[in-house]
Amino acid sequence: MSQEQPRRAQLNQAEVYAQAQGEPIKYGDVFLVQGELARETIAPLDAAMMQSAENQVLGQTQKGGAASVMQSAADRNEQAGLVGHCEVSDLPADLGVAVTETDFPGRRIVTEAVGGQVVGKYEEPAPVGMGTMPAAVQQGDAITIGEALETTAITAGEKPVEQSDAAAIQAGEVRATRTNEVLPGGVSAQAQSAATANTRVMRDEDKVKIRDVLSDATTRLPADKAATREDADRVAVSEMRNDPDMATHPEGVAANVAEAARLNRDRRF
């Protein structure tokens, strides 16, 4: 990606300046933005939201893209003790982040924005093919959040349930059922109990696994809905926020909800 080296050089210069001044790296230090956004600190959850948006639209975090630069800046700000691990800046929190693509024959234009201002725009070859969900959830209708949860029992079934998994499952259940309540006996309640119990178990083979919680998710949800980008964003942020490394599992809940939402978009559901 042609923007990678200039952005990295600018980020390194911004870090040197920020360290000398005892200040955090701000959006205006690494992106051509103006006004309030230029003065705002790049925070960890800002980067997490952009990573989720890139994964949702492009299928992966882009090397040298906005998420990569934001993550590096946020890491440096956090290491310097200038921002909290779960902190988000005002404009990204209020106006969000966005990644859009415009398709042309053999190529696509990707535009990335934070708080309504463009932070990156670049061209890349059009993808040859799209990723697919496992066969168990490929149907003629739109793929639901419940089906994406069940898919996780296949793709990451052997993984012990951790707090990040439980948080992602809860976010999925909330989006599917359109209620903010944890349902007694539901998949979210079981996932939280499993994550708590697993902290007291030493051996991984003795821990409750994701397959134990999600293999029948669709039958245990009182309501369900087709997965959308907004659903995927909420699930991804929840998973990242509860992961020590601020990351999502490549075959976990957030990844499968994002894939379901992307397939639904491409199939125009």
Dihedral of alpha carbons 176, 179, 181, 183, sign: negative
Residue 114 has pLDDT above 80, yes or no: yes
The span from the CA of 94 to the CA of 210, in Å, is: 33
The span from the CA of 158 to the CA of 203, in Å, is: 13
Structure-token pair, residue 79:
């290491």
pLDDT of residue 3: 52
Q: Please write the tens of the pLDDT for every residue from 162-189.
A: 999 999 999 999 999 998 888 888 999 9
Pairing between strand 107-114 and 117-125? antiparallel
175: Cβ–Cβ under 8 A, 6 or more apart, which residues?
Answer: 145, 225, 230, 231, 234, 235
Mean pLDDT (the chain, rounded) = 84
The span from the CA of 42 to the CA of 67, in Å, is: 11
β-strand partners of 124? 108
pLDDT of residue 112: 93
Best CA proximity match to 256, nearest among 99, 177, 138: 138
pLDDT of residue 158: 94
Q: Tell me which residue has tokens 């993808």.
A: 127
DSSP for 47-90?
HHHHHHHHHHHHSSPPTTSHHHHHHHHHHHHHHTTSS-TT---H
Q: Please write the tens of the pLDDT for every residue from 14-58.
A: 565 555 567 899 999 999 999 999 999 999 999 988 988 887 777
The span from the CA of 176 to the CA of 205, in Å, is: 31
What is the mean pLDDT of the segment spanning 139-161?
Answer: 89
Identify whether the C-beta of residue 166 lies closer than 8 Å to the C-beta of residue 253: no
Could you tell me the pTM of the whole model?
0.61
β-strand partners of 117? 114
Structure-token pair, residue 44:
């960890």
The span from the CA of 180 to the CA of 23, in Å, is: 38
Based on C-alpha coordinates, what's the Rg of the chain? 19
Q: What single-letter DSSP state applies at residue 156?
A: S
More confident site: 221 or 127:
221
